[in-house]
Structure 1
């Protein structure tokens, strides 16, 4: 009986075949390699967007626990529109921070652009599209004047733009005159910037699919270029993981937006501009000059770069984006007043760029830094509004997050210097 029991006992499972072992081994090596590379980047002070993503996740978790409407489709959709105006201004601040300088005039320039548009369109009957173009060009002109002054006199940019803050605010008040508040057409072109939504669900999902495809194609082509010249490059596994992460985020965002009113036009314009400017900075000769200038002005000058021209162009870009941001802010409330561009707008724009990961020392950061930073700041503001928390507390929390970002930037800089990368 004992022998029969032994004979009828289930046989042990067969060992995995060589194919399964190879696949498991390759996956394990890929994960281990990614983990080792990540730890090395952290030790070298290259944490990337991880700190701000953790802060954003913490903010969302806390406010969702305090108010169940925080992560509702309605509130997230409003959040997506609210970040656009200040976010565009913050992107301009990123350009200036990349060369190791600071633009303090962006708030006043945004108010000036909005005032120029309102007076031309409402008081002088200029068509909206033409008034919009002139308003944006006014911001470009203001930035160019400041950039030329900074580049030629070599006075620190924050001093030049501090003078610009006062000057452009005065010009804005002169443009508005005694009119006070100018109400815009609530059904006009500018009002549509923040009031129009693509209600068809397919539009949001199509944009998500295009974004995913663009990320994969960009990463793959970059890998091929680096591989062709023997430079370090991402593995196909890393590219696929990155693309999958973007796909999850993009389609989840599309799903949430479609549960309310659909994809906001303002958010679409914002993301397209940010992506285009990111390509400008990371894939063009001009962008490489900006980063080189942020690394060392003297080294850039010895490399025969036109330092003055790049400095002027960077301040001009900042003024242009400030004007665009000012138009979106005016569109949100469909009015322009003598207080446009004032208050905490400048502080929020600078804080968004720094919180998002742009270095105060220059040479490190992307346009997406501004997106992450303004998302953190606006999430705090939105959560505070839902929980009826005083504005004073909001400012304290935002200031604390900004201070933490500056400390992380400083520690990262020291770590890079220790590793010979700064």
Structure 2
């Protein structure tokens, strides 16, 4: 069986079984995705977060304002289009949409701090590579309405709790403070003054950033640029006393929680909306592009998006494809495919009709039931029960219908037992006690 159609470059299908894509990356099975999503939801429940879901389609201006006109996302990576004089974009990240939703629906009127989480797809028109796709998936949190360092520390603690619950260790948390935008402008000027005489030594990308967004040069992976930055002014020297006090308290709280971190004065993240605390979580199994998740405080974003009043906020986002690469590298346990509780095998037309009807009744009783839909022989049906790893096979033929009892075979031991039809649900939901 073949088709002339293929999934679009930079996207992938999630299938019942794991497979390796054209780029050599393992794509996790759907059961593994459900496991990760369920783990995220459980951690969020325990930390008192509520789910929010926003559209994948947003106004282009929302993203341009929220993320920053000079960022790579807006300059090069958005899937944007126009229809009936309206500009749209497939969301490249979810923080700006969440803040838009918070403002639009007046979620502040619910009272208290809004602790929101999300899981969903995002889209960026970048060159696909290992763990990076044009359609990718993120989970994350946004804490809206809290300006205290406790909110920053708890945000980081939630991220670490998800990783711990999934079995990830050997993580590196990088931490920094960006201070306020006003003081950061002073630092940007000093950084430009320092780098300008060395402009000819910079890559084309860094020369462009020197004019448009100098802080992004601090993210460079080019070795001679990293060496050049060792003597550059450091952002921490331009941060106000108030911001330093906030940062020190965040570090103290993380220490109380036993969360280890490395301070990195060059960590700025790639989005314009960050202020004060910023952080990034890395895993060595991801190689040179080791970032697993990142986030920080963004107290000014609501005003950028049109709010009359500031909304203090902090959050993080984690890439799920990157997470699966880390889980693979760590050889963390993941569930296999779901298996049925019982496979029903039928002999004859009357038995097939009984099995079809009874399968629905057993499912209504909470059981995961598989049965044959192709009218195959009993031998073929039992082979299929083995393929699906069913622990029990229920065999129904004329004798069983006449006796009103099914032959139930335990597949591993081969032992069989006659079970009255009325007792099937009880037997299959508690076989050890019924045997």
Q: Same fold (TM over 0.5)?
A: no
TM-score, normalisation: structure 2: 0.24
- Higher relative helix content: 1
Higher relative CO (Cα under 8 Å, sequence separation at least 6) belongs to: 1
TM-score norm. by structure 1 comes to 0.25
